[in-house]
Amino acid sequence: MAVITYREAVVRALNEEMGRNENVIFFGEDVGKAGGVFKVTPGLWEKYGNDRVRDTPISEAAIVGAGIGAAVSGMRPVIELMFVDFAAVTLDQIVNQAAKMRYMSGGQIKVPLTIRAAQGGGAGFASQHSQCCEAWFMHAPGLKVAVPSNPADVLGLLKSAIRDDNPVVFLEHKFQYAEKGEVPDGEHIVPFGVANVVRQGTDVTIVAVQKMVAVAMKAAEELAKQGISCEVIDPRTLVPLDMATILESVKKTGRLITVEEAVHAGGWGAEVVTNVTEEAIWYLESPCVRLTLKSGLIPFNGTLEAFVIPDADDVIAAVKRVMEP
């Protein structure tokens, strides 16, 4: 198995799928000759040319609109929004057009569109460039939402997204681009809707995505020294969401904590907790706990930003809370 970075997994997936299918095209702001503002897509413009890899104007509405048009016309576009925060100016196109076309046409129109976007804090980009916005898209029926936490899942999920006939919002955590991990050689596909049990445990179930998976793992390792066994689950996709794996874990541990780098109101953790209380409340030994941002807005100041984002100490405190008799 090769060891590559999170950003190298992105370009490998794009390169493999563009080589496999000539209808796969890629465009966005500075993704061509510059190789992306986060240097995630170098080499694609040189290999596939301007017909298939194009720089666009600084207009998210134009990027998404062109992507939808290309998708319904028979192409398989991958578009990049530099920051997911700016998807707000395109929400009508994403949630009222791309997400609904297949249903409203009785299946006659397919929208095989992959919307890549960077999200997440920790890099000092302040409130308008640091949000985790997966909940925006979870609320729109017709969209799939992927949130990979490591290079292998970036590769496998992005390839699945590109091959899907439905629109997929593919969210990459910008703080993780330099992180390294093992990735299988050859063809590697990760199906949507299949969670990954990252760590087996018996006392507490911790569900986390993206950067928070590593935070949960760090906490679990420390808690193991204290005799507390944590099971860590990475859903990998939030739509579809693998509740079966989470419910099975909660029935075993009797306790649930969700860890998300987003505001408390309406987060994906609320969806997980609601499902657990509906389907497995009689198995719970204590109330479920949701760890989220400590502030609705993400500060520019580095010390304050680090404070509002959940860390391992926050997870450890939450676990001890649910372990209380």
What digits encode the pLDDT tens for the residues 136-166?
A: 999 999 999 999 999 999 999 999 999 999 9
191 is written with which tokens?
Answer: 């199906």
Exposed (0-12), middle (13-18) or buried (19+): which is 179, by Cβ within 10 Å? middle
Are 258 and 272 a contacting pair, CB within 8 Å?
A: yes
- The Cα 67–Cα 204 span in angstroms is 43
- pLDDT (tens digit, 9 = 90+) per residue, 81-95? 999 999 999 999 999
Instruction: Write the pLDDT tens digit of every residue in 243-277.
Output: 999 999 999 999 999 999 999 999 999 999 999 99
Is residue 25 pLDDT above 90, yes or no? yes
The residues, ordered by sequence, that sit 6+ positions from 186 with a Cβ below 8 Å of its Cβ are: none
Residues sharing a CB contact under 8 Å with residue 73, sequence separation 6 or more, in sequence order: none
Sign of the CA dihedral 59, 65, 67, 70? negative
From 29, 80, 129, 172, active-site residue: 129
Active site residue 139: no
List phi, psi (to 5°) of 178. -90, -5
Chain-centre distance for alpha carbon 59: 23
| Candidates 8, 16, 17, 60; catalytic one | 60
pLDDT of residue 325 exceeding 80, the answer is no
User: What domains sit in the chain, N to C, each tagged with a CATH number?
Assistant: 2-183 (3.40.50.970), 196-323 (3.40.50.920)
Q: Tell me the pLDDT tens digit for each residue of 288-322.
A: 999 999 988 999 999 999 999 999 999 999 999 99
Q: Indicate if the pLDDT at residue 192 is higher than 90.
A: yes
pLDDT at 259 (0 to 100): 98
209: left (phi over 0), alpha (psi -120 to 50) or beta: beta
Question: Residue 290 pairs with which residues in a beta bridge?
Answer: 258
Long-range CB pairs of 243-250, under 8 A, 24+ apart, other chains included: 243/272, 243/275, 243/279, 245/194, 245/195, 245/197, 246/195, 246/205, 246/207, 246/272, 246/275, 246/276, 247/275, 247/276, 247/279, 247/280, 249/197, 249/205, 250/205, 250/276, 250/280, 250/283, 250/284
* pTM for the full predicted model: 0.96
Q: What is the pLDDT of residues 127-140, one digit of tens each?
A: 999 999 999 999 99
Give yes or no: 129 in active site. yes
